[in-house]
Amino acid sequence: MFQYEGLTFCKLERDQLLSLLDLKKETWLQTHNTTIANCDDQTRWFESLDKDVHCPQNLILLARSLTFTVSPTTVGVFKIFNVNYIHGSADVAWDVFKEVRQKGYGKLLVAGGVKFCVDILNLRRLDAEILMHNKASMKCAYSAGFVQEGVRRGAVFKRGKYIDSITFGYLGSASR
């Protein structure tokens, strides 16, 4: 368990797959490669994540707020993929649950996820891609210290058209 500014980050567990499936179905237009899956697909995907607890290459963190209501509320997921411990880098992405959007949790989620990557996984560089129309996610990236590095023109096909993907990079302070 990792805590940051009122959020608690925990590794995704099997019993949380249904809420993650609902999030995927609701946000698929905002993301790159997420397809609408069913429960069996979700379980196969979860089981395909590597289980090396000492040097994970792929890690999905579920973030909960302890201050939102009387009981903890899940606010989103921070996804860490393709971890390269030699280079100190990884690809990251995030999603905020619909019920808590526009309440500041997105910025906290991304900042906390970055802190986890830097402090716990000892990473120095993080890469993210955000679809050009996802302004809220871009604000979260900028707020956490990401810098726009480029544009992948027409990179993603959604709803019958190609959409640009904006690339962002984060470099820890020791890397600059």
Indicate the pTM of the whole model. Answer: 0.80
Q: What is the CATH number for 36? A: 3.40.630.30
Given a contact cutoff of 8 angstroms between Cβ atoms, the answer to whether 58 and 85 are in contact is no
Percentages of the chain per state (helix, strand, coil), in multiples of 5: 30, 35, 30
DSSP 111-160: HHHHHHHHHTS---EEEEEEETT-HHHHHHHHHTT-EEEEEEEEEEEETT
At 114 the pLDDT is: 97
At 156 the pLDDT is: 87
At 58 the pLDDT is: 78
At 162 the pLDDT is: 92
Number of domains observed in the structure of the chain: 1
At 38 the pLDDT is: 64
Range of the domain at 69: 2-175
**How far from chain centre, in Å, is Cα 51?**
19
DSSP E strand stretches across 27-72:
59-65
**pLDDT per residue of the chain (176 residues) written in tens, 0 to 9:** 888 888 888 887 766 666 666 665 555 555 555 555 666 666 666 666 666 655 667 788 878 887 655 455 888 889 999 999 999 999 999 988 888 888 888 999 999 999 999 999 999 999 999 999 899 999 999 999 999 999 999 988 877 889 999 999 999 865 54
At 148 the pLDDT is: 97
What type of residue is 123? L
